[in-house]
């Protein structure tokens, strides 16, 4: 099923504490290089077809409990920037639904703010605490990333977006 449709019709509103999107597949490897395209999306314009489009993100947000989080991690900076612009679009059209976590709210996290979109969405560089390696091994995505898979994937950096459902 399509992500947004599944969440809208199969998952109760306010029933999920956290949604993780680990290394979602970009719609293209380079859409989002042009700042004008990102600005157009962030201010309500059309976006390219992709899994985490504004409708899917809105459905994700509605499934979250108050205070619940969406954590998106990507090794593709261009796609992370497209997702940040898409999150801007959602926040501006559904202002009572989501907000970006600010650096001071991350505690002792190793995340570093890379850039801010429209003054409302923070894109971080680094791995969130929830994704730090455990003694038991690592995920498929970690192993894939370590092999250097993906033409536009960063070899040493990950990009993180963390959103929180407003109360």
The percentage of the chain sitting over the pLDDT mark of 90, rounded to a whole number, equals: 58
The per-residue pLDDT for 135 is 44
Q: Each residue of 38-96: pLDDT tens digit? A: 999 999 999 988 889 999 999 999 999 999 999 999 888 989 999 999 999 999 999 99
Q: According to the model, what pLDDT value does residue 136 have?
A: 45
pLDDT tens, residue by residue, 118-150: 999 999 999 887 765 544 446 666 666 666 665
pLDDT at residue 152 greater than cutoff 60: no
Across 85-109, average pLDDT: 92
pLDDT tens, residue by residue, 55-65 = 999 999 999 99
DSSP letter string, the chain: --HHHHHHHHS-TT-EEEEEEESPPPSSSSTT-SHHHHHHHHTT------TT-HHHHHHHHHHEEEEEEEEEEES-HHHHHHHHHHHHHHHHHSTTTEEEPPGGGGTT---EEEEEETTTEEEEES--GGGSPBTTB--HHHHHHHTT-STT--SS--EEEEEEE--
Q: What is the pTM of this model?
A: 0.87
Which comes out higher in pLDDT, residue 24 or 123?
123
């Amino acid at each position: 099923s399509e992500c947004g449709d599944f969440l809208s019709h199969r998952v109760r509103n306010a029933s999920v504490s956290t949604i993780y999107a680990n290394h979602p597949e970009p719609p293209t490897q380079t859409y989002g290089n042009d700042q004008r395209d990102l600005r157009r999306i962030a201010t309500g314009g059309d976006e390219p077809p992709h899994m985490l489009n504004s409708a899917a993100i809105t459905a994700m947000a509605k499934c979250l409990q108050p205070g619940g989080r969406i954590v998106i991690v990507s090794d593709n900076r261009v796609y992370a920037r497209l997702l940040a612009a898409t999150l801007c679009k959602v926040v501006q059209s559904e202002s009572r639904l989501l907000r970006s976590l600010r650096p001071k709210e991350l505690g002792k996290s190793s995340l570093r703010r890379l850039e801010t979109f429209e003054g409302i969405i923070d894109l971080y560089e680094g791995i969130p605490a929830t994704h730090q390696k455990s003694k038991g091994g690592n995920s498929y995505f970690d192993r894939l990333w370590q092999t250097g898979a993906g033409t536009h994937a960063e070899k040493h950096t990950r990009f993180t977006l963390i959103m929180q459902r407003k109360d």
